[in-house]
Amino acid sequence: VENRVTRVVDASAVNAIVTTTGLDRLYDLAIDRLNAMLVEYTRGTVDLKERDGFVLSAPHDGLLEWMPAIRRGSTVSVKMVGYNPHNPLTYRLPTILSTLYVFDAATGHLRSVIDGTFATALRTGAASAIASRILARPGARTVGLIGCGAQAVTQLHALSRVFDVNEVLVSDLDATSEKTFARRSRFPADRVRVASPAEVERHADIICTATSVAPGAGPVLSGDNLRPGVHINSVGSDMPGKCELPRSLLRQAVVCPDHPAQAAREGECQQLDPEEIGPSLFDLVQSPALADPLREVLTVYDSTGLALQDLAMAELFEDLAVAYEVGHELVIETNAGDPQDPYAFLADAQPDRVDEPRNAYA
């Protein structure tokens, strides 16, 4: 009988992985892994299922979703992600809680359980960096952030790994978020400036909208003052009815979704007819020539999040956990020995256990 262990990469193991690797290098690794995953998708070696989940209505409104992906012949990952806006105030927990489950595609064995909270933040930033590298002007220097929460921090950090960002304009409905952004982002404070959305439009080469604007309450940008050739990453909390950008802006732009069907349901693409939607990020990676003319025009990356990104993060964190020997190794799955005897696993402890009889076992 072979007992296979499951590695549980818990909160302290993730802390060790991030600390040992260093944030900058971790972003670089995430960007490289995500980029490789896009290429592999175009080759058919990886695949994903669309996000599905439960809408939670009691005791609070929220979501709990699963995002499965597969590297054929090797690994299946499932990310579970909860979106529960009541968490911080009511439970002192993060709005987003997430875990990654990694299975061996040869056996179905649960190879790893990994805290997915930081991996999710990291991959969403890294995805925008990849889209921006493809769609923004290479000389982009000024980043504008509409919405200054946790997502804005990871957006900026990832962008700074592929662009020489020398100025950051931050805009949020909450002045405290604006003021604390430089500290939270660890970005040099003298290059961070609070700005109105109109100022962001006038100066930024790359804009990230990472807001929690409610369906019907947007848009968060007018689109009237944009610089020529600006690239926008629209990242904010995706759901039916979501709208961070005005339809007029989307119609002038080349809008590139991460996943066309999902973006048409939850992202900015909801506002567009199918023929108004541009090439997907998959298309751009498969046919780089498509992107050449796009760097000089207004472009939008409609980011809704892909299970493939989570597969890339699951593999990255698993590799690092193994390399650093962090996490807990547990034998979770029973392996009874005799596949025909469902009670074989009890043999050692209780060779001939007969329990209080009710009927035939008397």
Distance from CA of residue 178 to its chain's centroid? Answer: 23
Instruction: Give the C-alpha separation, 345 to 143, whole Å.
Output: 59
Q: Which of residues 38-67 bind a copy of itself (CB under 8 A)?
A: 47, 49, 52-54, 56-60, 62, 64, 66
Binding pattern for the stretch 109-128 against a copy of itself, x by CB under 8 A and - elsewhere:
xx--x-x-xx--x-------
Q: Based on the residue annotation, tell me whether 79 is a catalytic residue of this protein.
A: yes
**Rounded CA separation 57/1 (Å):** 45
For a copy of itself, the closer of residues 186 and 251 by Cβ is 186
Segment near a copy of itself (CB under 8 A); pick from 179-187, 214-222, 294-302, 316-324 = 179-187
Give the Cα separation of 95 and 88 in Å (integer): 6
Interaction between residue 224 and a copy of itself (CB under 8 A): no
Helix (DSSP H) and strand (DSSP E) numbers for the chain: 10, 15
Size of the site for a copy of itself (CB under 8 A): 111
By CB under 8 A, residue 28 contacts a copy of itself: yes
When binding is defined by CB under 8 A, the residue of 136, 153, 245, 316 that contacts a copy of itself is 153
- Amino acid sitting at position 70: I
Please, which of residues 259-298 interact with a copy of itself by CB under 8 A? Answer: none
Identify residues 186-205 at the interface with a copy of itself (CB under 8 A). 186-188, 191
What are the helix (H) ranges across the chain? Answer: 11-21, 23-43, 117-135, 150-160, 175-185, 197-203, 247-252, 260-266, 281-286, 307-324
SS3 132: helix
Q: What mask, x for binding a copy of itself by CB under 8 A, covers residues 80 to 109? A: xxxxx--xx--xxxxx-xxx-x-x-xxxxx
Nearest-approach distance from CB 276 to a copy of itself, in angstroms: 31
Q: Which of 49, 79, 179, 242 is catalytic?
A: 79
Write down the least CB distance from residue 359 to a copy of itself, Å: 5
> Does 11 engage in binding with a copy of itself (CB under 8 A)?
yes
Q: 275 in helix, strand or coil?
A: helix
Q: Residue 257's CB: how many other CB atoms inside 10 A?
A: 27
Does residue 77 belong to the site contacting a copy of itself (CB under 8 A)?
no
Tokens matching residue 304: 């809704």
Q: Distances from the Cα of 182 to the Cαs of 23, 28, 131, 140, 153, in angstroms? A: 16, 21, 24, 20, 9
Q: 225 or 334, CB closer to a copy of itself? A: 334
Q: How far is the CB of 348 from a copy of itself (least distance, A)?
A: 8
Asked if the bond preceding 59 is cis, omega within 30° of 0, the reply is yes
Q: CB of 205: closest distance to a copy of itself in angstroms?
A: 13
Give the active site residues: 79
